[in-house]
Amino acid sequence: MSGNVSISQEGNGKVSRVIRMGTRKSQLARIQTDSVASRLKELYPDVHLEIVAMSTIGDKILDTALSKIGEKSLFTKELENALERNEVDIVVHSLKDLPTSLPSGFTIGAILQRENPHDAVVLHPKNAGLTLDSLPEKSVIGTSSLRRAAQLKKRFPQLEFENIRGNLNTRLKKLDEKDDYAAIILAAAGLKRMGWENRISQILSPEDCMYAVGQGALAVEVRAQDRDILEMVSVLHHPDTVLRCISERAFLKQLEGGCSVPVAVHTEVKGSMLYLTGAVYSLDGADCLKDTMQMCVEIDNEVSESAQECVHVAVTANNISSSALDAAEKLGMDLANVLLNKGAKDILTTARKLNDAR
Ligand code: DPM
């Protein structure tokens, strides 16, 4: 065992390892961390897990749109500092909040099986039974996601869109207790994890709204050099999800997009084929570039023999065929290049400028 690992001496003389998991203090973050903790507990009954909760700058600035605070590192920096100082060994995130490049020294050691990746409509109780199609004209829909707003403005021009911020609890409260919003749009996965599936009135199909890169998947961030922990968490990898998310992240990275650009994706694994649909939008959704490509990603058990560690868009998955991972990454880059050749850069640059000026 490596030197930076704490050991706890149990009463029975058995020595076992203590793994500390860092988490944000929000209820969703706690639930997500607990779910990974219980998976680890099942797999490694002798390991002691400790949960260390901290609040991040992103949690404190709740009145500013996410797309305006800009960098996702607001939510991850303090947790990464704690990882770096060996105060924690594992941090669980929503994959969609993790940038496509991590600061050096960190890697995503596991991506768990994806929940429903689609977005969902949550209605104000007074609108029960309605849909985005049947809501009265000029109904206000709450979302601070440029991606959701762009797609939905185009598809539902009779509706209006306004920012809403705060963690999931705050947003549902704002929806239910005020009369500001007719409905809000949230990821189905987050609602499900919070136990609020019953509030979902409509799941948005890819024709209405494609999802964000990595949406619905949990990621485990670790120190890149911590072999023990990397090996331990690698069994949590869900191969289909890993391949889908690597292609999505490679697409976003090649476009040089961050969390605050209107970029959306849709992926599927069918047999040995991985399908990726990706799109970029202007803020009002009027301009859109969208295409689909596929690649063969044979998911066999041929694990890379080389000691050379392979990292794909910040993900380390030594227990998954490296040729499949390479193919998934190439698919994302190829699709991005197709859109870049059609002018994606201009659309994204304009969207970024307009958003910064708002
Ligand atoms: C990112 C976005 C949002 C979160 C932007 C986007 C939504 C922001 C908003 C990158 N992160 O999706 O276009 O609605 O104002 C976030 C949520 C989850 C992870 C909540 C949500 C839970 C679902 C998951 C916030 N990050 O999207 O409803 O694990 O994928």
| E-assigned strand segments in 86-228 | 90-94, 106-111, 119-123, 140-142, 160-162, 183-187, 200-203, 218-223
Q: Residues 144-190: pLDDT tens digits?
A: 999 999 999 999 999 999 999 888 999 999 999 999 999 999 999 99
Radius of gyration of the chain (CA): 21
What is the side-by-side strand order in the sheet with 140-142? 160-162, 140-142, 183-187, 119-123, 200-203
Judge whether residue 219 has pLDDT over 80: yes
Q: Residue 210 belongs to what H/E stretch?
A: none
Structure tokens given for 78: 């303090």
Which conformational region is residue 48 in: left (phi greater than 0), alpha (psi within -120 to 50 degrees), or beta? beta
Q: Is the CB of 97 under 6 A from ligand 1?
A: yes
Alpha-carbon distances, residue 52 vs 4, 24, 26, 82, 227 (angstroms): 17, 9, 12, 10, 22
Q: Residues 244-303: pLDDT tens digits?
A: 999 999 999 999 876 678 999 999 999 999 999 999 999 999 999 999 999 999 865 555
| Distance, CA of 242 to CA of 319 (rounded, Å) | 11
In the predicted model, what is the mean pLDDT of the chain? 90
Active-site pick, 97, 119, 226, 287: 97
Q: Residues 24-54: pLDDT tens digits?
A: 988 999 999 999 999 999 999 999 999 999 8
Structure tokens given for 161: 């869109």
Q: Residue 158's CB: how many other CB atoms inside 10 A?
A: 11
The atom of ligand 1 lying closest to the CA of 211 is 12
Cα(152) to centroid(ligand 1), Å = 16
The atom of ligand 1 lying closest to the CA of 165 is 15
Local confidence band at 307 (pLDDT 50, 70, 90 cut-offs): very low
Q: Is the CB of 32 under 6 A from ligand 1?
A: no
**pLDDT for res 162:** 97
Q: Whose CA is nearest to atom 2 of ligand 1?
A: 145
Q: Is the CB of 316 under 6 A from ligand 1?
A: no
**pLDDT for res 260:** 72
**pLDDT for res 17:** 82
**pLDDT for res 358:** 81
Alpha-carbon distances, residue 305 vs 273, 301, 302, 315 (angstroms): 24, 11, 9, 18
Judge whether residue 6 has pLDDT over 90: no
Q: Would you call 97 a catalytic residue per the annotation? A: yes
**pLDDT for res 287:** 96
